[in-house]
Amino acid sequence: MGTTTFYLRHNDLGVRLNGLKKKELEQIDKLSPYSIDNKFLGWCVPLELHNGNVCTLIFWKGRLMKLEDAPHILNKRYWDKYGGKTHNLYEWTLLKRLILNEVEYLDKKFKKELRKKSINN
């Protein structure tokens, strides 16, 4: 088991990895999610998974993060890019609702499948 590092391009101006020179790639390899500055040339290293440790990851507005870090990171008001206004709702609150709704939907689907199996048996 080793370490898996996630690299995310955090803006559209970031140079693609296949266009980087060897020296620049070495700089990106030195980035760590635990340092203060984990960004270089438009790329960031949000997290690493070590030795098979399992973390629940979520993806929100182009950012990948650990679930336990999300309330601290998503502490801004939600900006609706389609409506062009800020809602009186924090990003974490909205994401939490979306996650809970999805879990409830999957739970109903799971129970429905169990009922089908018990009827068929």
74-116, pLDDT tens digit by residue?
888 877 776 777 777 888 888 888 889 999 999 999 999 988 8
Calculated CA dihedral for residues 74, 78, 82, 84, nearest 10 degrees:
-130
Does residue 60 form part of some domain? Answer: no
What is the pLDDT of the chain when averaged over all its residues?
Answer: 79
Report which of residues 116 and 46 the model is more confident about: 116
Last residue of a domain, one of 54, 77, 95: 54
pLDDT band at 22 (very low <50, low <70, confident <90, very high): confident
Same domain flag for 50 and 5: yes
Q: Looking at the 3D structure of the chain, how many domains does it have?
A: 2
Same domain flag for 8 and 50: yes
Does residue 97 form part of some domain? Answer: yes
Same domain flag for 88 and 50: no
Contact (CB, 8 A) for 40 and 7: no
Same domain flag for 48 and 19: yes
Tell me which residue range forms the domain holding 100.
68-121
Query: Does position 53 have pLDDT exceeding 80, yes or no?
Result: no
Same domain flag for 73 and 101: yes
Of the candidates 63, 85, 81, the residue with the CA atom closest to the CA atom of residue 72: 63
Q: Averaged over 62-77, what is the pLDDT?
A: 83
Q: What pLDDT score does 2 carry?
A: 66
Does residue 61 form part of some domain? Answer: no
